């Protein structure tokens, strides 16, 4: 395979703050030029003045991508992902270093770039296609396919300002999904649309990868990264922190505590979810050792720890929770049924309840948890309910001792239990008898 | 590390959920199209002065078409009068000018009725003024494109000027009607009209490019633009012919290409003699403005996405 993208010591510096930063006025520049005409003429790149500070959004980044590779790019907000993509797609220019691209680049930093609300769906498809670098003929050829993919056939001649936001995004993504450059650069665009459409887009992207096109894919969706990209580059503070097989890089990322959705805390009790009986104070996703964890090994148990304050005596309180997968399918609900507080009113003070989900239960993917505390006796009353309280990723590594065994492909399904299988060997005679029958009935199989 | 990694990862195999992994039938792409020996795109930090990349511009010609087409399509959406505005603008200006200046004796030279004199100037002027103002604001107005996708930035102000040509053509229709009303006979001099239209377009492009680029960095331009255009109108021989100025002040008008161009339109349309000197000066001036604008634009262009 040949190198299609070569990035060497790439750097991009931005000015922040200071008197003549982004928003300068003509007057300031004129006055400045009048005061120091020579400095204006001779000022060099990278030379700070007036004490303004500069930051490197991307610094000394080097990597190569082979033709046909699908590479994920991850990193915290502000790690330089977006700047890197902007540099590679030529939207902004580097301060240092170089990039060589051995193919046409299509970049998709946003869906629906250039969509105009007053134009019809049809007109926007052409306009958007042209903006993304498609030839008119190419768009015309793919037009029906694009409209069918977006599922907006009926409204294609309606101005898009009358579209629902879902329709708008579907149409926008459909155009982008039909781009066919040799190198496709995709930013977090899959975070839009409903779950079913997201799935469709992921599938579409996967076919893009399979056609031998090179894809750079930035996302916060770690299951998508591990599924789509064999290789992942992790950025931190503008530089490459790790570059390697996705499942390794992704678990480093998730375990480095860079993620934050696995723990929530309500410091101000008055603003915490709840009522005058009970208030939610914290929710965490925890390991058996008690550490907060965002990426859960599919084989390991995971606990959801709910901390709440009971403010009033005399209520039977049942912490409970609901688990959803990334398609918003409710996987299951759970109530605290332990005898400890089951028939006994909770005392005033802080309580912590942890629900343990066994290992080898969830399917791979991202799991979101709703947390609630309610009373069921004498009457059903929900004291607090927090949707999407915490989330975590379930990672199915390829180590071979999870339910996936040696099977490397995507496995559908809401849960992925590792079942006990029993096997019996019934002896050779039984098989040879029936095999004889099969052979007798199938002439082509006879030697 | 898993041994599977060495096969290039599991996305390379299409698998049936219940079956054994089967390799994807080699698609024509999978055999990897031979990559060019030289990079198609080289990204380097740019020095301040960069040449105009005409090949790049040419490869994006369809986008110029689509951007122009969008500007035209969208311009009169949700207006009651629609494209009639293209005609109403110069028409009303003509009526007002006629009311205020038409009575002043000796204004219109060569026995040309003042309304005709004013309108022949106002039609190209309106095109120029609208083109400069819309292209001056075009980059800022398309910030969402600039920050999200690459294409030669020159296309945006160019498209804004090109979109004005449609209005120009519409108002020309009214001009023809008025010329027929006043019994103007066409002469061979009309042959120069396309050249004049081209010159006006280039001049508007030059000024528009410069202002649009400055507007990205200095939003002062947005406020200065209408004012600038208004002032410019008074020194462009639209309201009064340059001949009313004292002899020693006329060279000043010559510095303004639009003055020579608009007098050129009048000569071509009304069959008056061309002032070749002022036309040549206007042509040179236009080309100089355009060249400076392109150079300045290219110099400022690399910052657009960062500061817009």
Asked whether residue A66 falls in the same domain as residue A194, the answer is yes
Give CA–CA dist B293/B284, Å, rounded.
14
CATH number of the domain that A286 lies in?
Answer: 2.70.50.60
A92 domain residue, yes or no: yes
Q: Do residues A310 and A347 touch, judged by C-beta distance below 8 A?
A: yes
pLDDT mean by block of 10 residues, chain B; 308 residues: 35 36 40 70 77 83 92 85 86 89 63 88 95 94 89 94 93 93 89 95 96 92 92 86 75 83 93 88 94 92 84
Q: Report the pLDDT value the prediction gives residue B108, as an integer from 0 to 100.
A: 58
pLDDT mean across residues, chain A:
82
Q: Order of strands across the sheet with A302-310?
A: A263-265, A278-286, A302-310, A349-357
Q: Do A322 and A373 belong to one domain?
A: yes
Closest CA to A105 of A68, A133, A129: A133
Query: What digits encode the pLDDT tens for the residues A246-271?
Result: 878 887 776 665 555 788 888 888 88
Shared domain check, A115 and A86:
yes
pLDDT score for B105: 47
Domain match, A234 and A274 both: no
In this structure, the number of other CB atoms found within 10 A of the CB of residue A28 comes to 13
d(CA B205, CA B168): 15
Question: Residue B150 gets which letter from DSSP?
Answer: -
Residues of chain B in contact with residue A135, where contact means CB-CB under 8 angstroms, are 62
Domain's final residue, options A223, A255, A287: A255
The pTM for the full model equals: 0.70
Q: Do A246 and A272 share a domain, yes or no? A: no
Does residue A323 lie in a domain region?
yes
pLDDT number for residue A329: 81
A241 and A355 fall within a common domain: no
Helix (H) or strand (E) holding A354: strand A349-357
Alpha helical stretches, state H, A8-70: 26-35, 37-42
Question: Has residue A412 been placed in a domain?
Answer: no
Residues 6 or more apart whose Cβ sits within 8 Å of residue B70: A116, A119, A123, A127, B159
- The verdict on B18 touching A (C-beta cutoff 8 Å) is no
Mark the ranges of chain A whose per-residue pLDDT is less than 70: 1, 17-52, 189-199, 202, 209, 221, 223, 254-260, 327-328, 431, 433-447
Of how many residues is chain B composed?
Answer: 308
Are residue A271 and residue A152 in the same domain, yes or no?
Answer: no
Q: Which residue of B has its CA nearest to A130?
A: B63
Q: pLDDT value at position A436?
A: 64
Compute the distance between CA of residue A82 and CA of residue A86 in angstroms, rounded to an integer: 6
Using a pLDDT cut of 90, give the percent of chain A over it. Answer: 33
Q: In terms of residue numbers, what domain contains A293? A: 263-395
* Contact assignment for B149 to A109 by CB distance below 8 Å: yes
A101 and A145, same domain (yes or no):
yes
Dump pLDDT digits (tens) for A51-106: 457 889 999 999 999 988 889 998 877 788 889 999 998 899 899 999 999 988 88
pLDDT value for A441: 60
Q: Are residues A98 and A117 in the same domain?
A: yes
pLDDT by residue (tens digit) across A311-332? 998 899 999 999 988 766 889 9
Give the domain-ending residue among A395, A414, A440: A395
Query: A409–B2: do the CB atoms touch at under 8 Å?
Result: no
**What does chain A come to in residues?**
447
Q: Tell me, what's the pLDDT at B129?
A: 96
Domain for residue A68, yes or no?
Answer: yes
Which of A260, A195, A218 has its CA nearest to residue A87? Answer: A218
Same domain, yes or no: A319 and A345:
yes
Domain boundary among A212, A235, A255: A255
Q: Does residue A444 lie in a domain region?
A: no
pLDDT of residue B106: 54
Contact B149 A407 (CB under 8 A): no
- CATH code for the domain in which residue A97 is found: 3.40.50.300
Contacts of A3 in chain B (CB under 8 A): 35
Contacts of A104 in chain B (CB under 8 A): 40
Q: Report ipTM (2 d.p.).
A: 0.80
A219 shares its domain with A272: no
For chain A, the domain total comes to 2
Instruction: Say if B19 is an interface residue toward chain A (CB within 8 Å).
Output: no
């Amino acid at each position: 395979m040949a190198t299609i993208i070569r990035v060497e010591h790439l750097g991009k510096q931005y000015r922040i703050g200071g008197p003549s930063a982004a928003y300068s006025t003509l007057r300031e520049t004129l006055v400045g030029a009048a005061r120091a005409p020579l400095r204006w003429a001779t000022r060099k790149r990278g030379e700070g003045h007036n004490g303004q500070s500069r930051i490197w959004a991307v610094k000394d980044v080097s990597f190569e991508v082979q033709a046909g590779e699908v590479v994920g790019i991850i990193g915290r907000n502000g790690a330089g992902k977006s700047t890197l993509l902007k540099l590679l797609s030529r939207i902004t220019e580097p301060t240092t270093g170089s990039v060589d691209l051995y193919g046409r680049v299509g970049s998709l930093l946003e869906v629906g770039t250039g969509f105009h609300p007053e134009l019809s769906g049809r007109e926007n498809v052409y306009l958007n296609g042209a903006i993304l670098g498609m030839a008119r003929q190419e768009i015309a050829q793919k037009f029906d396919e694009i409209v069918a993919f977006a599922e907006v056939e009926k409204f294609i001649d309606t101005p898009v300002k009358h579209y629902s936001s879902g329709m708008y995004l579907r149409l926008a993504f459909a155009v982008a999904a039909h781009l066919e450059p040799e190198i496709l650069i995709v930013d977090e665009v899959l975070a839009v649309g409903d779950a079913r459409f997201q799935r469709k887009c992921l599938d579409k992207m996967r076919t893009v990868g399979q056609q031998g096109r090179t894809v750079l894919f930035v996302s916060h969706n770690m299951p998508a990264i591990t599924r789509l990209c064999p290789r992942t580059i992790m950025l931190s503070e503008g530089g490459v922190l790790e570059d390697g097989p996705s499942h390794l890089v992704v678990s480093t990322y998730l375990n480095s505590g860079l993620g934050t959705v696995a723990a929530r805390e309500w410091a101000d009790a008055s603003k915490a979810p709840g009522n005058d009986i009970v208030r939610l104070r914290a929710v965490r996703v925890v390991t058996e050792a008690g550490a907060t964890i965002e990426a859960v090994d599919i084989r390991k148990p995971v606990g959801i720890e709910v901390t709440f304050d009971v403010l009033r005596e005399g209520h039977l309180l049942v912490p409970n929770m609901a688990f959803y997968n990334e398609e918003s399918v409710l996987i299951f609900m759970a109530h605290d049924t332990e005898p400890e507080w089951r028939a006994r009113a909770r005392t005033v003070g802080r309580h912590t309840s942890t629900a343990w989900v066994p290992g080898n239960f969830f399917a791979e993917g991202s799991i979101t948890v709703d947390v609630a505390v309610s009373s069921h006796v004498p009457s059903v009353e929900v004291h607090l309910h927090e949707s999407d309280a915490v989330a975590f990723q379930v990672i199915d590594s390829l180590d071979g001792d999870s339910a996936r065994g040696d099977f490397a492909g995507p496995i559908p399904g809401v849960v992925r239990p590792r079942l006990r299988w029993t096997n019996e060997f019934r002896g050779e005679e039984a098989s040879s008898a029936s095999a004889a029958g099969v052979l007798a009935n199938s002439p082509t199989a006879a030697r | 590390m898993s041994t599977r990694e060495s096969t290039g990862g599991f996305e390379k195999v299409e698998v049936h959920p219940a079956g054994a992994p089967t390799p994807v039938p080699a698609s024509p792409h999978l055999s990897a199209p031979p990559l060019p020996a030289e990079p198609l795109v080289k990204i380097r930090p740019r020095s301040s002065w960069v040449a105009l990349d005409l090949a790049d511009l040419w490869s994006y010609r369809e986008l110029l078409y689509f951007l122009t087409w969008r500007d035209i399509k969208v311009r009169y959406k949700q207006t009651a009068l629609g494209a009639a505005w293209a005609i109403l603008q110069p028409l009303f200006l003509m009526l007002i000018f006629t009311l205020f200046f038409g009575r002043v004796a000796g204004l219109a030279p060569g026995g040309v009725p003042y309304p005709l004199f004013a309108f022949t100037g106002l039609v190209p002027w309106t095109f120029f003024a609208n083109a400069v103002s819309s292209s001056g604001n075009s980059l800022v107005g398309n910030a969402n494109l600039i920050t999200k996708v690459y294409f030669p930035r020159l296309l945006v102000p160019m498209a804004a000027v090109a979109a004005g040509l449609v209005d120009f053509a519409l108002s020309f229709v009214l001009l023809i009607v008025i010329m027929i009303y006043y019994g103007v006979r066409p002469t061979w001099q009309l042959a120069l009209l396309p050249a004049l239209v081209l010159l006006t377009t280039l001049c508007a492009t030059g000024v528009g490019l410069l202002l649009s680029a400055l507007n990205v960095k200095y939003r002062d331009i947005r406020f200065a633009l209408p004012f600038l255009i208004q002032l410019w109108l008074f020194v462009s021989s639209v309201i009064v012919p340059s001949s009313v100025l004292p002899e020693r002040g006329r060279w000043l008008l010559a510095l303004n290409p639009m003055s020579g161009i608009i007098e050129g339109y009048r000569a071509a349309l009304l069959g008056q003699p061309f002032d070749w000197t002022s036309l040549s000066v206007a042509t040179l001036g236009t080309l100089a403005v355009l060249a400076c604008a392109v150079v300045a634009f290219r110099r400022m262009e690399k910052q657009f996405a960062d500061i817009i």
